[in-house]
Amino acid sequence: DSGVTQTPKHLITATGQRVTLRCSPRSGDLSVYWYQQSLDQGLQFLIQYYNGEERAKGNILERFSAQQFPDLHSELNLSSLELGDSALYFCASSSGSQFSYNEQFFGPGTRLTVL
Amino acid sequence: DQQVKQNSPSLSVQEGRISILNCDYTNSMFDYFLWYKKYPAEGPTFLISISSIKDKNEDGRFTVFLNKSAKHLSLHIVPSQPGDSAVYFCAAPLYNFGNEKLTFGTGTRLTIIP
């Protein structure tokens, strides 16, 4: 158990809809990261938040947005869903030290299926 | 642009033998590398890492080798055990004062045959 929790575990929805994925980081971690893993693909970095502020951005679609709240949990919002958005979405957290690479601890993921 | 590549999608190894998983990278800015292990229905878990100032790092049955000139790293597992059956991802971060992007390879599914 990494200490990172994600809800829901599974999500099935229709094209055009909007969903919200939730992540609670490990206790004490300030950084939260979101990744997308499509079928037979590696994990693609989407976005990083640190203590409520956006820190780094990957190839995140404009239809996707994220935020980190004062209690440090994060939400990833996916809108106008398309079939190709079906994937596993992972959240990770780290301490967020600014002076070295921080090991990232991953949650169990949310499996999104768009029908 | 796949900056971290794992060209073998799958690998089968007899229990007790050595498993060798390979990874290539293209970005010369990478100076730290990690291997993650992933079981079904779980998130990736950190396995072992190596800094570019080293060419080898060992942790129990797991050893990672780095060849900077070839931009190649490999993970050796010896002896291989059934519990090692999982998907292994090679990854490299780009980090700068807390801004971090972790780039993953596509993974290699390792199956240990009893």
CA distances from B98 to A103, B34, B81, B101 (A): 12, 17, 37, 10
Average the pLDDT over B3-7 and give the result.
93
* Min distance A25 CA to chain B CA atoms (Å): 13
What pLDDT does A2 receive?
84
- A-B contacts at Cβ under 8 angstroms: 75
Of A42, A44, A101, the CB nearest to B107: A42
Query: Which of B8, B10, B19 shows the shortest CA–CA distance to B47?
Result: B19
Chain B residues within 8 A of A51 when measuring between CB atoms: none
Average the pLDDT over A57-81 and give the result.
95
Using the beta-carbon criterion (under 8 Å), do B32 and A101 form an inter-chain contact?
A: yes
* Min distance A101 CA to chain B CA atoms (Å): 6
Query: Which of B103, B88, B78, B61 shows the shortest CA–CA distance to B14?
Result: B78
**Percent of chain A clearing pLDDT 70 (strictly above):** 96
pLDDT interval class at A99 (50, 70, 90): low
Chain segment B49-105, per-residue pLDDT in tens: 999 999 999 999 999 999 999 999 999 999 999 999 999 999 998 776 666 788 899
Min mean pLDDT across A36-45, A47-56, B26-35, B95-104 is at: B95-104
User: For A59, which residue in chain B has the nearest alpha carbon?
Assistant: B101
- Mean pLDDT rounded to a whole number for chain A: 92
Using the beta-carbon criterion (under 8 Å), do A43 and B44 form an inter-chain contact?
A: yes
* Min distance B48 CA to chain A CA atoms (Å): 11
Contacts of A6 (CB under 8 A, 6+ apart): A21, A22, A23, A24, A89, A90, A91, A107, A108, A109, A110
Of A56, A97, A98, the CB nearest to B101: A56
What pLDDT does A42 receive?
81
